[in-house]
Structure 1
Amino acid sequence: MGMKMIYRLLLVFHGFVGIGAIAGGWAAIVNPLEPLGAPVDMLKNSPFENFFIPGLILFTVIGLGNILSALTILFKSKYQGYISSVFGWALVIWIVVQCIMIQGIHFLHILFFIIGLVQGGLAATILFKESLFPANILINYYKKTGKEAHEE
C-alpha cells in the first residue's frame, strides 16, 4: 500500500470518527440525562451520574482530536504520524473503558475499536516508512544486527 493511500485512509477514518464523536459528545453535553435515547442507568457501574463528563471527553478528545488529526494530514504536518497514533489509540482506550463501564458490548463498539486499531496501525506504518522515532530505533537495530549476522 502506497503512502498516498495510507494518508487518504487516515483522513477518511479521522474525519468519520471526529464528526461522529462531535455529534455524540454534543448530544451528551446538551442532554446529559438521555443523549440520543441512551438511558442514564447505563452509567450505574461508572463514576458518572450522567453523560455530561463522558460527552465532554467524547466531544473534545475523540471528536476534536480526530478532526485535528485530519487537518494535520491536509496540511502535511511532519508530526502527523504521531498525532494519528495518539488519537487512534485514544479511540481504542475510549471504547474499552466504555464497554467496562456500561458492562456491555454492541456492534458500534466493535466497529470503532477496529477503526482505532486501523488508525494506530496506519500511523505506525507512517512512522516506519518515514524512519521516525521510535520506529527508527528498531530499523537501525535490525540493520545493525542483520549486518553482524552476515559478517559471521
Structure 2
Amino acid sequence: MIRRRPIRYLLLGLTGGVAATSVAGGIALITGAIWPGALSGISPPLEYLEGSPFDSYLLPGIALALIVGGLHGVAFTAVLQRMNRANLAVTIAAYAIVIWIIVQMTIIPFSILQTVYLAVGLAEIGLVLIVLGVFSDDREPPRHRPPDEARLAMRHRIGVG
C-alpha cells in the first residue's frame, strides 16, 4: 500500500496518464488498421513495420490498449483504492511500458514520445523503490562488535580457538 501522499499522487498521475494514452493510442492503431486512412494524420506509416512480424498495426494496437493500458488501469485503481498490492501492480505496469518502448525502439524510428514513456516507466519503478524504502537510511545501525582482543578472549573461554 502506498501511504506517502506526494508519491501516491505522482503515481496516480503517471499510471492514469499512461492508461488513458495507451488505450487511446491502441484504439487509433486498431482503427487505422481496420479502416486505412481513417486516422491518416495519427497512424504511423506502414513502412515502419517493414522487417517486423506485423503486416498492420492491428495486433500492436490491441496489445498497446489491453496490455499496457490495461495494466496501467489496474495499477491506477490499486493506488487509488490503497490496495495492499499497489506496489506490485505499479511495478508490473511500469515494466510493461518499459519493455513495450524498448521493443518499439527496435522496430520503428526514434520518436521523442519513446523517450517520454521510457522515462515515465522508469519513474514509476523509482517511486515504488522509494515507497519500499530502498533509498532510505532509516535502517537499523550495525551492532557494535567487540574489539579483536575481546573476541579472542571470548573464543578462548568457550574453547573455540
Unaligned runs of 5+ in 1: 130-134
Q: Partners of 2:62 and 2:140 in 1: how far apart?
A: 45
Match of 1:6 in 2: 7
State the one-letter code of the partner of 2:19: G
Q: Partners of 1:57 and 1:17 in 2: how far apart?
A: 14
Q: Partners of 1:121 and 1:90 in 2: how far apart?
A: 15
Q: Could you say which structure has the larger radius of gyration? A: 2
**Is the contact made by 1:43 and 1:49 (CA closer than 8 Å) also made in structure 2?**
yes
Q: Partners of 1:98 and 1:3 in 2: how far apart?
A: 33
Q: 1:143, CA displacement in angstroms?
A: 5.2
Q: Secondary structure at the match of 2:88?
A: helix
Match of 2:151 in 1: none
Report how many residues are paired.
136
Q: TM-score, normalised by structure 1?
A: 0.81
What does 1:17-56 align with in structure 2 at a 5 Å threshold?
A: 17-32=18-33, 33=36, 36-56=42-62
Matched, 1:115 2:109: no
Aligned-residue RMSD, C-alpha: 2.1
State the one-letter code of the partner of 1:18: A
Q: Partners of 1:124 and 1:46 in 2: how far apart?
A: 35
Matched, 1:100 2:94: no
**Is the contact made by 1:85 and 1:124 (CA closer than 8 Å) also made in structure 2?**
no
Compare the two structures and name the one with the higher helix fraction: 1
Identity rate, percent: 26
Match of 1:132 in 2: none
**Is the contact made by 2:32 and 2:43 (CA closer than 8 Å) also made in structure 1?**
no
Q: Which has the higher contact order (CA 8 A, sep 6+)?
A: 2
State the one-letter code of the partner of 2:92: V
Moved over 2 A (4+): none
- The one of 40, 62, 72 equivalent to 1:66 is 72
Q: Partners of 1:64 and 1:37 in 2: how far apart?
A: 21
**Is the contact made by 1:14 and 1:67 (CA closer than 8 Å) also made in structure 2?**
yes
Unaligned runs of 5+ in 2: 147-161
